[in-house]
Every structure is written in structure tokens, then in C-alpha cells.
């Protein structure tokens, strides 16, 4: 009997994003990733994420919101 939870991630789509890489100046690519948590082969949760990568240096880029909230 399987009691372990596992996470499966699949790429749903890719598109170019605005801006450039702060490390090498390359183009930024946005990747839509769907992750599905399973427990004993039963789906528990499904989430959509948006991850950013540089096309030249292949670094994972993190978007920080610097907006000011008053």
C-alpha cells in the first residue's frame, strides 16, 4: 500500500516575458507549470504556477513585487 505523497510537475506552455535577465541580459521566458499532488494514486491538489527562466544562461529568475502599499 502506498502512503507516500508525490508531486508531479508538467509544462503546460511557454511564452516570452517582458524584461531582460539581470545577470546576462538575455530574454526572459515564462513557463506555466501544473503541479499535482497525489496520495495513493488519488489526486489531492492541482496548482498552476508561473516560473521565469533566462533563455541564455538558463537561470531561474524570481519576481519580487516592490510596490508600495499605503
Q: What is the pLDDT of residues 8-31, one digit of tens each?
A: 788 889 999 988 999 999 999 999
Torsion angle of the four alpha carbons 27, 8, 62, 16, in this order, in degrees rounded to the nearest 10: 20
* Residue of 21, 33, 34, 25 whose CA lies nearest to 60: 21
Q: 0.85 exceeded by the pTM?
A: no
- Residue 63: is its pLDDT beyond 60? yes
Q: State residue 66's pLDDT score.
A: 56
How far apart are alpha carbons 28 and 64 in whole angstroms?
15
Amino acid at each position: 500500500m502506498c502512503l507516500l505523497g508525490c508531486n508531479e510537475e508538467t509544462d503546460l506552455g511557454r511564452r516570452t516575458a517582458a524584461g531582460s535577465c539581470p545577470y546576462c541580459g538575455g530574454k526572459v521566458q515564462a513557463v506555466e507549470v501544473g503541479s499535482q499532488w497525489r496520495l495513493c494514486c488519488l489526486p489531492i491538489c492541482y496548482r498552476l504556477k508561473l516560473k521565469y527562466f533566462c533563455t541564455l544562461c538558463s537561470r531561474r529568475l524570481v519576481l519580487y513585487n516592490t510596490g508600495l502599499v499605503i
